Structure 1
Amino acid sequence: MVDSRTLNPRTPVVIGVGQSVDRIDSPSYKTWAASDVAAAAAQAAFENTTRADAVRSAIGAIVAVRTFEDTGRPSPFGKTANFPRSIAKRLGINPGYALWTKAGGNTPGDMMIEFSQRIYDGEFEVALLCGAEGISTVRNAHAQGKSLNFAEDPGGQVEDRGSGLEELRDPLLTRHGVLGAPISYALAENARRHRLGLSKQDYAARMGRLFEPFARVAAANPYSSWAVPAFSATQLLEPGKSNRWIADPYPLRLVARDQVNQGAAVIVASLAAARAMGVPEENFVYLHGYAKAAEKRLLARPDIGASPTAHAAVRAALKGADTTVDDIALFDFYSCFPIAVANVVIDELSLKEDDPRGFTVTGGLPFFGGPGNNYSMHGIAEMAGRLRRQPGKKGFVGANGGTLGKYSAGVYSTQPRDWTEQPSTDLQAALDAVPSPAIDDSHTGPVTVETYTVVHSKTGPQYAVAVGKNAAGRRVIARTPEGDTKAAAHVHEADFLGRRIEVAAQGDINVFQVA
């Protein structure tokens, strides 16, 4: 056990965490904008330090995770022109530096790594990391014909890193109807099923067993975005009016819930600053090991149903913490869809779906809520609180961005540990060096299906998308003809994995017919 008195005073520590929720079904519903929700979480984090006034006045940097509104989602009631400064204004602080991050569910983990390093380097003494979404309020007000005004411009300095969406977009996927996360993840999920050689029924049962414990955790979490039932595995999978199909193999209850008003905040300080402010040492949570990495675009991956990036980042974070998965007491894996969890805990770590430690401390994105890019800030905040109640134990938080596209991994503990620089440069170089399959944008001829999905609306199946290899071993993407819902319904009822389909190039897309 390391004596904290021997640590480098520049060592970064988490000193305060906070969460907030503004549920539309609550008697105390406040109709908050995202800035209000984030500020409430930050205020809770100040109070969590037990030295709120001292910490508030010491904030040198505020970091705000980009909202969905700032990545293309409509904002019918207006929005802030400077998200971090709007939050700061509500808190009555004016830090010298404000950062507006890129999009991506990996962002909270990345920011923990970046600002821990910047604090260690002496650039800042105390930083506030925060974010929120107010999507539920916007949707609810719009549906009821109410008028709100969330437009504001607080002014002030901000480093705006942009949305980063250009890193996530693929025109070839878009042309073929792969629009949004459920569709692209469905392709990855079915590719994983293909690799495992499982039937639709057997694979669905595994998804249900994996997510059933998540729903139980969410049902007991006071910060959950809604009064979530403790769904059974059967209830998660059984399609119906309240659990309609989204994209095969996902009914609604297996999909991240973005209709939320949730915020989370984490305060990081140098050890010297934390002590000077009088924050109790039992509040300190240390980042022992960490890593981050980015994946190739979806169609450029050798296996669409795998995530070597997540696997490598997890291994590196555990190694950096000088620990093994057996020594981790608590987990929180990003859980937008089942594969985001399974590809790490089962495929890489060889854990069982019913591991008694569980894989979430919040309840996960389909149940607790999926507050945009900021979900894993909740994971870190909840993890820190639980680790304080289990001194010396270790917790793991895995944050995922894009379609299994980016991963940020961290191992946390109250056990004192000096900060060590753990660059991911070599890890990323090794991932980038893996050859990608050749892709035929335009193809006519037979294709053997690697993966597929069927996209549904509220009225039923709309179209199917398939990805496979042609006779030359080149990857091809195709979709059913526009408006041919009968073809989509046929694919939904069948199982097209491993089938040979006939594809024809038509304009800028490839089309396949269903006999």
Structure 2
Amino acid sequence: MGDARTPVIVGIGQFTENIGDSEYRAMSAVELAVEAAKAALADTGVDGAAVAKAIDTVIGLRPFDISSPIPPKLGASNNYPRSIMRRIGADPARAVLEPVGGQGPQKLVTEFGAAIANGDADVVMIVGSEAGSTARYYAGRDDKPDFTEQIDGQLEDRGHQLFSYISEYTIKHGLTGAPSQYGLLENARRARLGVSVADYRRQMAELFAPLSKIAAKNPFSSSPVEREVDEIVTVTDDNRMIADPYPRLLVARDQVNQGAAAVLMSVEAARRLGVPEDKWVYLHGHADMVEQQVLERADLGASPAAVHAAREALRVAGLGVDDIATLDLYSCFPFPVFVMCEALGIDGDDPRGLTLTGGLPYFGGPGNSYSLHAIAETVTQMRDRPGQFGFVGANGGIMSKYSVGIYSTAPAPWRADRSAELNAEIAALPKVAVTEVADGPATIETYSVRYDWPVRTGIIVGRLDADGSRFLATTKDEDLVGLMSDGDPIGARIVVKSTEKGNRARLA
């Protein structure tokens, strides 16, 4: 069925190895991706070698070890996508390396679905992997492997683009890890809702505990353990605080070895290669949204981009929320899930469930490629439920980019979305003025606390009394850190003083 140029997903593959497994090999990012790619080729139901030879475009999701200016400790390929292709007998004309961002997998399905529809590609593989477990395994050892590879061939390297999310100013103030970054957003949302610290932590645990039940049954899960609400809420040595308001069991599990891959092709290519039609899954709706820079957002506890992404993808698909059968909402922390539930008008206990994988803290959060696993699970579900619709929500940066895809076996023509127009609207939303060098009396707007430093440190987004502008500050002041760790500092009066190393705050 369908126009010859309509894109369809015809193969998906996943691979996970866990450190406790008897077969654990401490694989490289390339090796993990190869296992997933082989599985995706096999999943097409036809000769994998023929499909591999037909691949004209490969896009690699950037592994963490090459996602920053820091050189990879165990070495890496200079051409990640082509290293993978070489091992599966493929030699595509075009290889692309995508920038940092968890929205990447869904954004790429949309981008290269459009490329297929426009005749600019025919058979495409999207592949990603993360070898965080391997990095941890070798961290204290002398017998470190060298995963360096020099591969000739074209590569369209789009750059890591990490500094689209962070800046010298945010780094100076401790916003170098996702837990503290999302902690600011989470506490801003809590403040807007007027919920106490204890009640909000329980709400987060109630949202996430059901995800762990899915992870416990998923053969590709990195932590297949069912977690109870009280277990997630209670801080222990095993469930230590990472960054306020998150204990470990509310944080994406990034030290994983996981790979995923998807094969997209035109209907014409699928017919030519003999891929059975019951393997074909169509992208019915899609949207790719970009949020304002974090400190400029009027409400740090909201995400207009995520809301727009959900609504636009549903509009393109011609569907309502009630028409959706399965959901996988990006769950690095509770905040993105809360935001998307609000956008869709659903509750955390929606009977459809909020994940197909088991969520990033329990299934695993393999860097930039998690949502490729979500897409793989959705494709599997859609094949088992012909004609029904699956929703994938993929989030990147500091709630910075949000991409949505809606999938079904029901044939559908390729449809354009209005993402460019909507992104212009988001960019034009009112912005908050930021004062980088801040001095004087002020109020705490939102906050996080970093527990992973030698000295427990508070991170503050504040508003200056003088002009209402927003600033960042850190504090090691015992009274203020005590209030931030054990009380509720939102709205507390502080005094901020600028130094060469950043702004410092104390209780007024």
- The TM-score bracket by the shorter chain reads over 0.9
Residues 478/138 of structure 1: CA separation in 2 closer, same or farther (3 Å cut): closer
Secondary structure of the 2:448 match is: strand
Question: Structure 2: which 5+ runs fail to align?
Answer: none
Partner of 2:85: 88
Aligned to 2:459: 465
1:30 aligns with 2:25: yes
Per-residue deviation, residues 81-136 of structure 1 (Å, max 9, x unmatched): 11001101111111111111111001111110110011111111100000101110
> Match of 1:391, as an amino acid?
P
Match for residue 156 of structure 1?
A: 153
1:365 aligns with 2:367: no
1:43 to 32, 38, 45: 38
How big is the shift at 1:259?
A: 0.4
Instruction: Single out whichever of 138-147 and 29-38 deviates more from structure 2.
Output: 138-147
- Aligned equivalents of 1:197, 1:171: Cα separation in 2: 32
Q: Does 1:419 align with 2:414?
A: yes
Structure 2 distance, partners of 1:422, 1:350, is 22
Contact 1:125 1:269 in 2 (8 A): yes
Match of 1:60 in 2: 56
Contact 2:316 2:416 in 1 (8 A): no
Q: Is the 8 A contact 1:490 1:514 kept in 2?
A: no
- Give the alignment of 1:114-263 within 5 angstroms: 114-226=111-223, 228-263=224-259
**Contact 1:89–1:154, Cα closer than 8 Å, also in 2:** no
Q: Deviations along 1:281-331, whole A, 9 cap, x unmatched?
A: 011100001000111111110011111001101100000000011111100
Shift of 1:514: 3.3
1:503 aligns with 2:496: yes
* d(CA) in 1 for partners of 2:501, 2:137: 38
State the alpha-carbon separation in 1 of the partners of residues 273 and 340 from structure 2.
39
SS of the equivalent of 1:434 reads coil
Size of the aligned set, in residue pairs, is 505
RMSD: 1.4
Alignment counterpart, residue 309 of structure 1, candidates 305, 308, 314:
305
What SS class does the counterpart of residue 143 from structure 1 fall into?
A: coil
| 1:77 aligned residue | 74
Q: How do 1:258-407 residues align onto structure 2 when only pairs under 5 Å count?
A: 258-345=254-341, 347-407=342-402
- C-alpha distance in structure 1 between counterparts of 2:345 and 2:190, whole Å: 16
The answer as to whether partners of 2:53 and 2:89 remain within 8 angstroms in 1 is no
TM-fit CA distance, 1:512: 1.3
For 2:344 and 2:73, the matched residues in 1 are separated by 44
The SS at the match of 1:178 is: coil
Q: 1:409 aligns with which of 404, 413, 431?
A: 404
Q: Compared with structure 1, are the counterparts of its residues 486 and 145 closer, same or farther at alpha carbon in structure 2 (3 Å cutoff)?
A: farther
Q: CA deviation at 1:8?
A: 1.2
1:485 positional shift: 5.4
How far apart in 2 are the matches of 1:179 and 1:66? 18
CA distance in 2 between counterparts of 1:112 and 1:27 reads 35
What's the secondary structure of 1:193's corresponding residue? helix
CA deviations on 1:332-361 (whole Å, 9 max, x unpaired) are 11110000111111x222211111101100
Q: CA deviation at 1:30?
A: 2.3
Q: Which residue of 2 aligns with 1:474?
A: 469
Q: Which amino acid aligns with 2:217?
A: A
Post-superposition CA distance 1:172-215 (Å, at most 9, x none): 22222222111110000000000101000111111001000111
CA distance in 1 between partners of 2:453 and 2:218 (Å): 30
Q: For the Cα contact (< 8 Å) 1:330–1:358, is it kept in 2?
A: yes
Give, as a single letter, the amino acid of the residue that structure 2 aligns with 1:261.
Answer: N
Deviations 1:31-56 (A, max 9, x none): 21110100110100000001123312
Matched residue of 2:437: which SS? coil
Equivalent residues of 1:12, 1:419 under 8 A apart: yes
Distance 1:169 1:503 in 2: 22
SS in 2 for 1:380: helix
CA distance in 1, matches of 2:114, 2:15: 27
Deviations for 1:426-467, whole angstroms, at most 9, x for unmatched residues? 1001001112011111222222221111110277x6110111
Aligned partner letter, 1:172: Y
Query: After TM superposition, which residue ranges in structure 1, 4 or more long, deviate above 6 angstroms?
Result: none
| Partner secondary structure for residue 457 of structure 1 | coil
Q: Which residue of 1 aligns with 2:481?
A: 488
In 1, distance between residues paired with 2:163 and 2:447?
A: 24
CA distance in 1, matches of 2:117, 2:437: 51
> For the residues of structure 2 that align with 1:215 and 1:260, how far apart are their CA atoms?
16
1:497 is paired with a residue whose SS is: coil
- Deviation, 1:508, is 5.1
Which stretch of structure 1 is more off in the superposition, 147-156 or 78-87?
147-156
Contact 1:463 1:485 in 2 (8 A): no
Could you tell me which amino acid in structure 2 is paired with residue 99 of structure 1? Answer: V
TM score, norm. by length of structure 2:
0.97
- Please state whether the residue corresponding to 1:195 is helix, strand or coil: helix
Give, in whole Å, the separation in 2 of the partners of 1:218 and 1:54: 34
SS in 2 for 1:312: helix
The answer (yes or no) to whether the contact 2:326–2:389 under 8 Å persists in 1 is yes
Do the aligned residues in 2 keep the contact of 1:42 with 1:264 (CA within 8 Å)? yes
| Mean CA deviation greater in 54-63 or 139-148 | 139-148
Are the equivalent residues in 2 in contact too, given 1:38–1:263 (CA < 8 A)?
yes
Conservation of the 8 A alpha-carbon contact between 1:462 and 1:485: no
